């Protein structure tokens, strides 16, 4: 049987509820600052999450929801400027403590580090957002806990394409059979599963009714000894929180 060598984490919605409490308000701040009347409510943002990537999401919004908007001659520049401003607002929000880690994330990362299980990140969001989140929620050196941080525009096609997981595995010199992925969304599961990477899902308010068939386990969160998880699909045996023993079990079966 192939040994479990690496845990590969999605960021947005998986490590923290960054979409609702980080990206969404950051977009809104950037829009207001630019004098635009665009305002993304919690529920509208749920619809916009159909498109991964912040720049791609703004274009989708204009096309689907604001056909009245008269684009400037250089729309690419407007999108790029808004995205850069949004990244700065996101970093400030994260630094203010507005986006805590989800239950069990810190515990599992620390256990993996202690046990020599390799760590990586495979995300659609931009690299500076990842490092800001890790530094402010874990420790200033936390980005170095991860052997590879695969982020944003580093690959041509974002999730649900498999490119970012492919990139991470290649950089680590691992096969898909040697890893276990952690995701929160159908797009993320699709990205990992296309490579045969076994996947654990922790749902959130935006993703709980999505299709997760093919996931090894679907949970409300990773759980803590004093805060047991709820199993939504799959078999966690007697476990009440996800630790390396359960990760190995899920990987091996
Ligand atoms: C995350 C995303 C990202 C963020 C915004 O998807 O879709 O686009 O919403 O990040 P996943 P940027 O969790 O599947 O990686 O604005 O930096 O693109
Ligand atoms: Mg996600």
Protein residues placing their CB within 5 Å of the ion ligand 2: 10, 12-13, 184-185, 188
pLDDT by 10-residue block (mean), the chain, 253 residues: 94 97 97 97 97 96 95 95 98 96 98 98 96 98 98 93 98 98 98 98 97 98 98 97 98 84
Return the exposure string of 42-76: e unless at least 16 CB atoms fall within 10 Å of the residue's CB, then b. Answer: eeebbebbebbbbbebbbebbeeeeeeeeeeeeee
Active site residues: 10, 12
Secondary structure, 3-state, 196-227: CCEEEEECCCCCCCCCCCCCCEEECCCCECCE
CA-closest residue to ligand 1 atom 14: 188
Quick check: 83 and 54 in contact, CB under 8 A?
yes
Integer angstrom CA distances of residue 149 from 102, 143, 169, 172: 19, 8, 11, 11
- Cα(72) to centroid(ligand 1), Å: 25
Ligand 1 pocket residue status of 162, Cβ below 6 Å: no
- Cα(188) to centroid(ligand 2), Å: 6
Predicted pLDDT at 211 = 98
Long-range contacts of residues 112-119, Cβ cutoff 8 Å, at least 24 apart: 112/7, 112/244, 113/145, 115/244, 117/4, 117/5, 117/6, 117/7, 117/244, 117/247, 118/5, 118/6, 118/7, 118/147, 118/172, 118/174, 119/6, 119/7, 119/8, 119/9, 119/145, 119/146, 119/147
Q: What pTM, to 2 d.p., does this model score?
A: 0.95
Quick check: 220 and 237 in contact, CB under 8 A?
no
Using DSSP, state whether 175 is helix, strand or coil.
coil
Q: Which tokens hold the place of 227? A: 């805060």
Using DSSP, state whether 150 is helix, strand or coil.
strand
Predicted pLDDT at 152 = 87
Predicted pLDDT at 29 = 98
- Cα(125) to centroid(ligand 1), Å: 4
Predicted pLDDT at 253 = 65
């Amino acid at each position: 049987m192939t040994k479990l060598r690496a845990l590969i984490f999605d960021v947005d919605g998986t490590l923290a509820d960054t979409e609702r409490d980080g990206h969404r308000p950051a977009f809104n701040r950037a829009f207001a600052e630019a004098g635009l009347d665009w305002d993304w409510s919690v529920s509208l943002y749920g619809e916009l999450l159909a498109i991964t990537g912040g720049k791609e999401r703004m274009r989708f919004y204009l096309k689907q929801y604001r056909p009245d908007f008269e684009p400037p001659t250089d729309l690419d520049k407007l999108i790029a400027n808004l995205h850069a401003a949004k990244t700065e607002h996101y970093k400030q929000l994260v630094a203010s403590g507005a986006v805590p880690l989800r239950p069990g994330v810190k515990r599992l990362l620390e256990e993996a580090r202690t046990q020599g299980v390799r760590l990586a990140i495979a995300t659609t969001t931009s690299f500076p957002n990842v490092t800001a989140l890790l530094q402010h929620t874990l420790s200033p050196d936390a980005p170095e806990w991860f052997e590879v941080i695969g982020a944003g525009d580093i690959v041509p096609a974002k999730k649900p394409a498999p490119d970012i997981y492919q990139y991470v595995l290649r950089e680590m010199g691992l096969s898909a059979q040697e890893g276990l992925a952690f995701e929160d969304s159908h797009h993320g599961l699709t990205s990992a599963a296309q490579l045969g990477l076994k996947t654990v899902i922790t749902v959130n308010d935006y993703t709980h009714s999505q299709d997760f068939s093919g996931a090894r386990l679907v949970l409300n969160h990773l759980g803590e000894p004093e805060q047991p998880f709820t199993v939504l699909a799959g078999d966690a045996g007697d476990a009440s929180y996800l630790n390396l023993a359960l990760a190995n079990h899920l990987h091996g079966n």
